[in-house]
Amino acid sequence: MAPRYRVTLVKEEREYLEEISTKGKRAARTVLYARALLLLDAGEFGPKWIVAKVGEALGVTTRSLEHLKKRFVEEGLSAAIERKTRVKPPKEIRFGGEFEAQLLALACSKAPEGRERWTVRLLAEKMVELKMVETVSPMTVCNTLKKMNLSLT
C-alpha cells in the first residue's frame, strides 16, 4: 500500500493559508490548495477532514490531494501551494522574422530554370544552398508559408 502522508500545520502556517484563501488576488489553484491544506490539517488546530470529504467539498480528486499532502510533507508549504519552477528552459526560436522575410523574398522571386513555380522542397533546398539557414525541413517551410498565408500555386 502507498505511504500515507499526514498534514500537520503549526499556527503560523494556518494563519498564512487562511490569509491566502480569504484575502487579496491569487491564482485559483493556489487558493484551492491553501483551502485543501487547511481542511486536511490533522494538527491540534485543524478540523481533521478525511481526503474523500475534502475532495468532494472542493471538487478535487483524492489523488490530487494525496499528491498535495506528499509535496507538503516532503518539500514544504511553499512547494505545495505554488507552481513548480520550470527546470528546462523553453526552446529557442530558430526560425524567426528574418527567416520568414528571406523565405518570402525567395518564394516571390522567379522560379528556377526548368520549373514553372517553386515547390516547398525546392525552397528548403535553395535556402540551405544560399546559406540563409544551416538546415531546414520542407515541413518547416510549408508551415511558415501557411502561417504567412502564402500559397505557392
63 and 109: one domain?
Answer: no
Domain membership of residue 2 (yes or no) is no
Please state whether the predicted TM-score (pTM) of the whole model is above 0.75.
Answer: no
73 and 106: one domain?
Answer: no
75 and 101: one domain?
Answer: no
Rounded to a whole number of angstroms, the CA Rg of the chain reads 28
Q: Say how many C-beta atoms besides its own lie within 10 A of residue 95's C-beta.
A: 16
Helix, strand and coil in the chain, % to nearest 5: 55, 0, 45
How far is 9 from 66, CA to CA, in rounded Å? 16
Domain membership of residue 65 (yes or no) is yes
Domain membership of residue 42 (yes or no) is yes
Domain membership of residue 103 (yes or no) is yes
> What local confidence, expressed as pLDDT, does residue 18 receive?
92
Using 70 as the pLDDT threshold, list the residues of the chain that sit under it: 1-3, 153
Domain membership of residue 30 (yes or no) is yes
Structural domain tally of the chain?
Answer: 2
> What local confidence, expressed as pLDDT, does residue 2 receive?
60
Range of the domain at 30: 11-81
68 and 29: one domain?
Answer: yes
Domain membership of residue 88 (yes or no) is no
> What local confidence, expressed as pLDDT, does residue 77 receive?
92
Domain membership of residue 40 (yes or no) is yes
> What local confidence, expressed as pLDDT, does residue 1 receive?
42
40 and 67: one domain?
Answer: yes
Cα–Cα distances in angstroms (integers) from residue 141 to residues 36, 126, 130, 132, 134, in the given order: 49, 11, 15, 13, 13
Angle at 53 between CA 48 and CA 56, to 5 degrees: 145
Domain membership of residue 92 (yes or no) is no
76 and 114: one domain?
Answer: no
How far is 70 from 62, CA to CA, in rounded Å? 12
